[in-house]
Amino acid sequence: MDGMMQEQPLIVSGILTFAERWHPTVEIVSRTAEGSVHRYSYADLGVRSRQLASALQALGVAPGERVATLAWNGYRHLEAYYAVSGMGAVLHTVNPRLFPEQLDYIINHGEASIVLVDLSFVPLLDQLADKLSQIEHVVIMTDRAHMPSCKLANVHCYEELLDSGSRAFAWPELDERSASALCYTSGTTGNPKGVLYSHRSMVLHAFASQSPNSIGFSQRDTVLVVVPQFHVFAWGTSFSALMAGAKLVFPGQGMDGASVYQLLREEQCTVSLAVPTIWMMLMAHLESVDGDLPALDRVVIGGSACPEAMIRTFEERYGVKVLHAWGMTETGPLGTLNHLQPKHDALDADQQIAVKLKQGKPIYGVDLRIVGEDGEVLPHDGETFGRLQIKGHWICSGYYKLENDTSVDADGWFETGDVATIDADGYMQITDRTKDVIKSGGEWISSIELENIAVGHADIQEAAVIAIEHPKWDERPLVVAVRVAGSTINSVDLLAYIGRFVAKWQVPDAVEFVDELPHGATGKLNKLSLRQKFQGYKLPTAD
């Protein structure tokens, strides 16, 4: 027997329609590529998104067709989000920070026929023009006065294109399972892989993201969206914050400490989202100007693990709550968020920090588990670590156009590639990447834990720990470290230091000092390259 309730699809245009109708005057503030600060309202966003959708339709964009964007955070990018997904096409956000060959691969693999590009990325696109044969139109996200010259074909001015569209465009009532957006991951191995989101997954993710156990957006919030809109829709904020009626502030390309600080203060932002690197720059700036953050209530920190010092500084010095989060392109992205529970109130500050260093609990709508090498489900004891798997409403069921895809098992568990522990209260902590963990005599050793310890030594600037083949133990850890300028620390002293923090069998077998470590396009340590470099390395313990 079916229920007798109204059936409406869970689609992205529903978020915009609600926002426009019930929060029409809420502001969207953007620092633009042209240099000025732009302000308008949800009502304006609604009108212009409909105009853009209408104009794209007139250009020939059909349902299901991919429309790529190469853009910083701003109101035009947001209009593109709603216009493209809302009209039934697929928003394909491209990360402009990737290497040109990756960009080229991603745009071609996604088969976008049209690309919307920020002024600052026109030279980049220009450079790739010859390789992007399937692109029929290029829309430069600026007005006529700022249109650059370029060798690209079929170039349109965004504002002129938009003006040609109808304000009366009506959003189609799409199937909620239809594709709404496409994002690519940039792994260190193989080609980037595409995640194809559905309208349903994005709306449910927004519902979950704005809940108090997650980010808790409300109509009383002002959100500084530092995490790029090309990173899984700014972690979904472009939908969740609008669903909640929160004021939005977009920094454009100004993500340095001074620019972030200025927007936090001038717009009285209550919440902001970014990776640790951004917050490092803000901390340094705050220190240099003796600044404070009176309006800021909380920050969401994800992308990589949040360091202890950052949590302490935000919370103890600036009175800002840290929400440590974890997720991936493949997971919506929000998977877990860290809020303390009432039982933690009784803990002292250090014990609370120990909890906050974990990536937190799954938000409603996803489920997590850790499994061992043979797939056996491991206990939630906070000690045992295993491969982290996730399933849920906004977790991918596979990659776009990828053959022999084994990322999701028969029971629907997606293999995250992370290694983690889960404690008795359900708090998950990432301890390593599956491919980086060192498998020594049947036991796993976390490379990340060893790296964190190594960089805790005052003489070590950066460190990577990789597995080296070992005749007896299968694998043993090698530290590859960069010394602080002027330091002469040696292997024996560094290993002795590490030995103060871990069990004897976890202490690495050797240290190699190098001048610098290799990094990928998004700034992450490239361990694949290191493993190649040290292939065949002979550990002193190998005999």
In terms of CB distance, is 235 or 473 closer to a second copy?
A: 235
Helix boundaries (H) for 30-99: 42-59, 75-87
Contact region for a second copy (CB under 8 A) — 184-192, 250-258, 397-405, 481-489? Answer: 397-405
Active-site option among 321, 384, 439, 512: 439
Stretch that binds a second copy, among 46-54, 73-81, 335-343, 516-524 (CB under 8 A): 335-343
Binding-site member from 137, 199, 298, 457 for a second copy (CB under 8 A): 199
**Furthest-apart CA pair in the chain: how many Å?**
77
Asked if residues 7 and 226 have their Cβ atoms less than 8 Å apart, the reply is no
- Comparing CA positions, the residue from 130, 115, 18 lying closest to residue 71 is 115
Active-site residue flag, 330: yes
* Residue (54 or 180) nearer to a second copy, CB: 180
- Please select the residue that binds a second copy; options are 277, 341, 490, 532, rule is CB under 8 A: 341
**Residue from 198, 238, 259, 329 binding a second copy (CB under 8 A):** 198
Helices 12-22 + 75-87 axis angle, to 10: 120
Is 171 designated active site? no
Phi, psi for residue 377 in degrees, rounded to 5: -75, 130
* The one segment of 32-40, 190-198, 471-479, 502-510 that binds a second copy by CB under 8 A: 190-198
Q: Which helix (H) or strand (E) holds 388?
A: strand 386-392
Element (H, E) at 277: helix 276-289
Cα 513 from Cα 83, distance rounded (Å): 52
The verdict on whether 533 is a catalytic residue reads: no
16 versus 225: smaller Cβ distance to a second copy: 16
Distance in angstroms (rounded) separating the CA atoms of residues 279 and 323: 13
- What element of type H or E holds 505? none
Taking CB under 8 A as the rule, which mask of x and - marks residues 145-174 in contact with a second copy?
------------------------------
Catalytic residue among 65, 159, 330, 475: 330
Q: Is 185 noted as a catalytic residue in this protein?
A: yes
| Collapsed DSSP state (helix, strand, coil) of residue 475 | strand
The answer to whether residue 346 forms part of the interface with a second copy (CB under 8 A) is: no
- In the numeric block, the tokens 């910083």 are attached to 72
Contact call for residues 294 and 285 (beta carbons, < 8 A) = no
| Residue 296 engages a second copy in binding (rule: CB under 8 A) | no
Residue 178 binds to a second copy (criterion: CB under 8 A): yes
Least distance in Å: CB of 453 to a second copy? 31
CB of 89 to a second copy, least distance (A): 10
Among 135, 152, 196, 450, binds a second copy (CB under 8 A): 196
Half-sphere exposure of 349 (CA within 13 A, CB side): 7
Give the interface segment with a second copy, choosing from 214-222, 282-290, 441-449, 512-520 (CB under 8 A): 214-222
Site residues for a second copy, 83-102, by CB under 8 A, read 90
454 binds a second copy (CB under 8 A): no
Handedness of CA 354, 357, 358, 360 (dihedral sign): positive
Q: 177 or 519, CB closer to a second copy?
A: 177
Specify the residue, 276 or 426, whose C-beta has the smaller distance to a second copy: 426
| Interface pattern 420-439 for a second copy (x via CB under 8 A) | -----xx-------------
Backbone conformation region of residue 441, classed left if phi is above 0, alpha if psi is from -120 to 50, else beta: left
Tokens of 383: 């000690």
| Listed ranges 207-215, 314-322, 458-466, 485-493: which one lies at the site for a second copy (CB under 8 A) | 207-215
Question: C-beta of 7: minimal distance to a second copy in Å?
Answer: 7
Bridge partners (DSSP) listed for residue 300: 273, 323
Q: Exactly one of 40, 364, 534, 537 binds a second copy (CB under 8 A); which one?
A: 364
Instruction: Find where tokens 């990828």 sit.
Output: 402
State which residue, 23 or 50, has the beta carbon closest to a second copy: 23
Q: Which of 303, 302, 283 is nearest to 293 (CA)?
A: 283
SS3 per-residue string spanning 313-347: HHHHHCCCEEEEEEECHHHCCEEEECCCCHHHHHC
**Rounded-to-integer distance, Cα 107 and Cα 97, Å:** 14
The one-letter amino acid at 178? S
C-alpha span between 1 and 453 (Å, rounded) = 59
Tell me how far, at minimum, the Cβ of 409 lies from a second copy, in Å: 12
Is residue 41 a contact residue for a second copy (CB under 8 A)?
A: no
Choosing from 81, 207, 233, 444, the residue that interacts with a second copy (CB under 8 A) is 207
Q: Is the dihedral of CA 214, 219, 220, 224 positive or negative?
A: positive
Which range of residues in 388-396, 444-452, 474-482, 495-503 is near a second copy by CB under 8 A? 388-396
Per DSSP, helices labelled H in 414-470 are 447-455
- Could you tell me the smallest distance in angstroms from the CB atom of residue 342 to a second copy? 6
Contact present, 47 and 112 (Cβ < 8 Å): no
Is residue 400 near a second copy by the rule CB under 8 A? yes
Catalytic amino acids? 185, 330, 439, 444
Which residues of this chain interact with a second copy, rule CB under 8 A? 1-8, 10, 15, 18, 21-23, 25, 63-64, 90, 175, 177-180, 195-201, 204, 207-208, 210-213, 216-220, 243-245, 339, 341-342, 361-362, 364, 367, 391-400, 408, 412, 414, 425-426
